[in-house]
Amino acid sequence: MSKGWKSSLATILKESNGIKEGGTVASAATQDKRADILYQGFTQLGELGYKMDNVESFRGKHMEVLASSWEKSGLATSTIQDRISTFRTFAEWIGKEGMIMSSDKYVSEGAASRTSINTQDKSWEAKNLDVAQKIAEVKAIDPRVALQLELQHAFGLRVRESLELRPHLADKVTYLAVNVGTKGGRDRTVPIDTQAKRELLDRAKTFAEKNSSTSDQTKTLAQVKGHYYNVMRQAGITKKQAGITSHGLRHGEANDKYKAITGVDSPVRGGGKVDKELDNHARLVIAEELGHSRENITTHYLGR
């Protein structure tokens, strides 16, 4: 690999490595770890015969080559997943968000089956927080951000999905088409199966022009995300302040959906025994509605 790639990587790290996804400053340890993984990865690509003068030439095929090499060398699955996560962040830095898919797309089925089983309910309800009241507090700061939290709570959306949702286009009458800002570019549908969801989606349209998202169209996505997380800090919705994040709304929706389907609380909420086929059915439904490709990912939300 020619020397040029090192210069281009150094420039990108200088511009982007100091910021975490939430808009906060990344620690020195995080920055060093990212840099080490990226320099090692691009060096390894050169050794494998994939030469480039500029790291912005990085493609999905390069991720496949690296992941395969790491697995063959005997690296732990958790280590491979961590490295892929770093390269996914790097892809976002160079304007190729969504190019790097979830780690199970790059490692063998046996390795990818590794998952952690959650033993603690991470929903807001588990912290004895009144979701409606907390969102009302956010509404006093910024009604638009409050709406985006409501969308996350009702439809199990990720933060970015709620920020980029185009309600006029996504509304398919009986279901919501989630196809912008999704993780790994994986589209999905979520039922509009209650009057509350219908009313929420209709209200979301008042925050957006016909073809635009729920976010302020005068701001870039980076600015929108920065503002969103700033509001979260103002409202005390952080792990440090209240032991929660807005991601906990997805956990709440997943657990509520599980009980709606099975009639029993999820394992992480202390629920009793559920018929194996019904449990599997519920998990598959939840995995699809949350935008995951594997049933065992639900253990992160529901336990086992």
Judgement on whether residues 104 and 130 belong to the same structural domain of the protein: no
Tokens (6 digits) for 148: 């985006």
- Measured CA distances, 68 to 77, 81, 118, 218, 226 (Å): 11, 12, 28, 42, 35
Q: Give yes or no: residues 36 and 12 share one domain.
A: yes
CA distance 207 to 168: 10
Task: Please answer whether residues 228 and 247 qualify as being in contact, where contact means their C-beta atoms are separated by less than 8 angstroms.
Answer: no
Q: What is the mean pLDDT of residues 266-271?
A: 91
In contact, 180 and 166? CB cutoff 8 Å: yes
> What letter would DSSP give residue 130?
-
Closest CA to 210 of 169, 177, 165, 178: 169
Percent with pLDDT over 90 in the chain: 55
Domains contained in the chain, number? 2
- Which is it for the CA torsion 125, 242, 22, 62, positive or negative? negative
Q: Are 209 and 195 in contact (CB under 8 A)?
A: no
Is residue 78 over pLDDT 90?
no
Q: Which of 16, 21, 15 is nearest to 229 (CA)?
A: 21
Residue 140 corresponds to which tokens in the numbers above?
């006093």
What is the full DSSP assignment across 195-248?
A: HHHHHHHHHHGGGS-TTS-SS-TTS-HHHHHHHHHHHHHHTT-SHHHHS--TTH
Which of the residue ranges 15-29, 168-182, 280-294 would you say has the lowest mean pLDDT? 15-29
Candidates 87, 134, 91, 84; CA nearest to 252 is 134
Phi, psi (rounded to 5 degrees) for 176: -100, 125
- Indicate whether 89 and 176 sit together in one domain: no
pLDDT at residue 113, as a whole number: 47
Instruction: Compute the half-sphere exposure of residue 182: CA atoms within 13 Å on the CB side of its CA.
Output: 21
Residue 1 has pLDDT above 50, yes or no: no
Q: Is residue 120 part of a domain?
A: no
Q: What is the pLDDT of residue 108?
A: 67
pLDDT at 2: 44
Judgement on whether residues 152 and 271 belong to the same structural domain of the protein = yes
Residue 175: φ, ψ to 5°: -150, 160
Lowest mean pLDDT among 3-7, 33-37, 159-163: 3-7
Q: Are residues 133 and 236 in the same domain?
A: yes
- Structural domain range at position 262: 125-302
Average pLDDT over residues 47-63: 92
Tell me the C-alpha distance between 84 and 87, whole Å: 5
Q: pTM, whole model, 2 decimals?
A: 0.64
**Are 283 and 154 part of one and the same domain?**
yes
Tell me, yes or no, whether 117 lies in a domain: no
Same-domain check for residues 251 and 198 = yes
Residue 119 domain-assigned (yes or no): no
Which of 112, 145, 174 represents a domain boundary (last residue)? Answer: 112
| Average pLDDT rounded to a whole number, residues 91-106 | 85
At 196-245, the pLDDT tens digits run: 999 999 999 999 988 899 999 999 988 999 999 999 999 999 888 888 88
Q: Residue 269: name the closest of 280, 283, 279, 255 by CA.
A: 255
Q: How confident is the model over 11-54, as pLDDT tens digits?
A: 999 988 887 655 567 778 888 889 999 999 999 999 999 988 99
Which of 22-31, 162-171, 287-296 tops mean pLDDT?
162-171
Same-domain check for residues 62 and 199 = no
Task: State the chain's mean pLDDT as an integer.
Answer: 88
Residues 134 and 14 in one domain: no
